[in-house]
Every structure is written in structure tokens, then in C-alpha cells.
């Protein structure tokens, strides 16, 4: 492995890197705990009156969960293949755009959510754009499902991926909450962590791995990954299923009316 610093994630083709695995992403990525969706909406009033912007919405996993509560969701995703793979919902409107240029009117949204996506953005530009589209006092939420390596099966899953690829740069760069409040556009964010789990059969266990943008899909690395995943599955399966464990991390903050106010 090189000792040179990793490039910023927003330089690693974030708008196109999932194009060849949008179907796997839609089928095999986990959703988010019901309690996490509760937190996102708590205090915003009647959910049917909430306008939410899901930024970097991918195939709409979190957008649909908000929509199922009644929120009106604008799902913004730059990747055409990801948008095409999304399951449609009457409360979700899809838009092409990026976190730095959402294409949404100012002060429209009550909630701006970045689920499994903020690490791909140019952070300071994105923070400014999220501030612009939120109403004064609106809420911004950053959310990730992180693999719980304290769980033996989940640790084996991570180790199988690392064996053929190494660590992804995002794993070496924990989120720094200071970037949210640096420009005085948002209050310092507050962190909540919740447990989550995903039950998978053998095909799903493999599909969850290949939904990651950096995992090989062919060649010797792909074959070795399959062997390691099969071995982990066989050690831990019960009734033809395994359970991946996650820690769902949520950072919540409020848009300031004026910078520094």
C-alpha cells in the first residue's frame, strides 16, 4: 500500500463510480432503523407537511423511508443509472443535481438529509448549498450505516473485502463534525448512534459486498472475494441466513437564520 495521502473522496468520481452496480445497490444495501427516521422528523410537525431533500439519494432507500411517513421528498442524485434503479414512490420526486448545485429553490425544505453520501461531497460548498435550500430553523441530518466490527460475521465480511482491496479511504477518514459549523451557517451537530441489522441469504451476502463501488467484479480478486465470503457465510449461517450488524450514526443540526446568529 502507498504511504501517500489519499485524495479527497470528491475527487474519486463520486457521480459516476456506482454506474455499473446500481442494481446491486438497490437490492442489497440496508435501509435505516425506524428510530432513525423518527429522529429525522421529530419536532418538525405533521410529517405530511414536511418537505425533505435527500441529497445524494442513490436508489432512494432513505427517500422512500421518509416518504412512507408522509413527507414530500425531493431526491437529488447525479447518477442516471442510480436514479433509474430506484423503486418509485408517489411522495418522492427525483431530480438530477449535486450537493453543491441542488437546483432547488431557496428556503424550501424543512429537512435536508445526506444518507451514506456526505463523504463524497465537497464539504464546504455542500454546506453552503444545504443552508440555502433549508428554511430558517430547518434541520440538516447526516447519516451513515457503519459496519459493526465487534460482530464476528460482520468483521469477517469486512476482512474479506480488505483482503482483495484494502481499506477504502472513507474508512480512514472519520467524519469531522467541525466542518458543519465552520462557516457558522449551522449549529454544532449532535450525534446519535443506533444499532441496526440486515439479514441476508448467500446471494445477498455476496451482493452486499459487490454493491460497494471499490469491490472487484471480475478477475482473480473477485474470485478470491467470493471464496472468502462463502467461507464466512458457512461459518456463521443459521437457517440459510446471516445477519450483518451496523451502527447507524446520525448527526443532527439546525440551520442558523443568519451566519453566526
DSSP letter string over 44-58?
S--GGG-EEEEET-T
Average pLDDT over residues 160-183: 83
- Contact indicator for 80, 100 with CB cutoff of 8 Å: no
Q: Is residue 57 part of a domain?
A: yes
pLDDT of 29 reads 94
Let me know if residue 233 belongs to a domain.
no
C-alpha 36: how far from its chain's center?
13
Could you tell me what percent of the chain has a pLDDT over 70? 88
Domain assignment of residue 29, yes or no: yes
Whether 255 contacts 138, CB under 8 Å? yes
Please report whether residue 71 resides in a domain.
yes
Looking at the domain assignment, is residue 42 inside a domain?
A: yes
pLDDT at 8 exceeding the cut of 60: no
Q: How confident is the model over 120-130, as pLDDT tens digits?
A: 899 999 999 99
CATH number, residue 44: 3.40.50.150
- Per-residue CA distances from 45 to 40, 187, 192 (Å): 11, 20, 21
Q: What are phi and psi of 91, to 5 degrees?
A: -95, 5
Q: Could you tell me the sign of the dihedral formed by the alpha carbons of 245, 193, 172, 254, in that order? A: positive
- CB-facing half-sphere around the CA of 175: CA atoms within 13 A: 21
**pLDDT given for residue 165 in this prediction:** 80
153 in a domain, yes or no?
Answer: no
Give the structural domain span for 110.
9-146+169-196+248-254
- pLDDT value at position 136? 95
Residue 260: inside a domain, yes or no?
no
142, β-bridge pairs: 114, 251
Per-residue pLDDT tens over the stretch 25-63:
889 999 999 999 999 999 999 999 999 999 999 999 999
Count how many domains the chain has.
1
Q: Is residue 160 part of a domain?
A: no
Distance CA 31, CA 60 (A): 10
C-alpha cell at 72: 414530500
Cα–Cα dist 219/222, whole Å: 5
Amino acid at each position: 500500500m502507498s504511504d501517500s495521502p489519499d485524495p479527497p473522496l470528491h475527487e474519486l468520481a463520486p457521480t459516476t463510480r456506482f454506474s455499473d452496480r446500481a442494481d446491486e445497490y438497490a437490492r442489497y444495501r440496508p435501509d435505516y432503523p425506524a428510530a432513525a427516521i423518527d429522529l429525522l422528523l421529530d419536532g418538525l410537525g405533521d410529517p405530511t407537511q414536511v418537505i425533505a431533500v435527500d441529497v445524494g439519494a442513490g436508489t432512494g432507500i432513505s427517500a422512500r423511508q421518509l416518504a412512507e411517513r408522509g413527507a414530500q421528498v425531493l431526491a437529488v442524485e447525479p447518477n442516471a443509472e442510480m436514479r433509474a434503479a430506484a423503486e418509485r414512490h408517489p411522495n418522492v420526486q427525483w431530480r438530477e443535481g449535486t450537493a453543491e448545485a441542488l437546483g432547488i429553490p431557496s428556503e424550501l425544505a424543512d429537512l435536508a438529509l445526506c444518507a451514506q453520501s456526505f463523504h463524497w461531497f465537497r464539504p464546504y460548498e455542500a454546506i453552503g448549498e444545504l443552508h440555502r435550500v433549508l428554511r430558517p430553523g430547518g434541520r440538516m441530518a447526516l447519516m451513515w450505516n457503519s459496519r459493526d466490527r465487534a460482530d464476528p460475521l460482520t468483521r469477517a465480511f469486512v476482512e474479506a473485502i480488505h483482503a482483495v482491496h484494502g481499506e477504502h479511504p472513507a474508512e480512514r477518514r472519520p467524519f469531522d463534525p467541525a466542518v458543519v459549523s465552520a462557516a457558522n451557517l449551522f449549529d454544532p451537530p449532535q450525534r446519535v448512534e443506533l444499532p441496526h441489522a440486515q439479514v441476508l441469504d448467500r446471494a445477498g451476502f455476496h451482493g452486499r459486498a459487490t454493491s460497494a463501488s471499490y469491490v472487484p467484479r471480475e478477475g482473480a480478486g473477485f474470485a478470491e472475494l467470493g471464496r472468502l465470503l462463502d467461507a464466512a457465510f458457512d461459518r456463521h449461517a443459521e437457517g440459510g441466513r446471516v445477519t450483518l450488524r451496523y451502527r447507524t450514526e446520525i448527526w443532527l443540526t439546525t440551520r442558523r437564520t443568519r451566519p453566526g446568529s
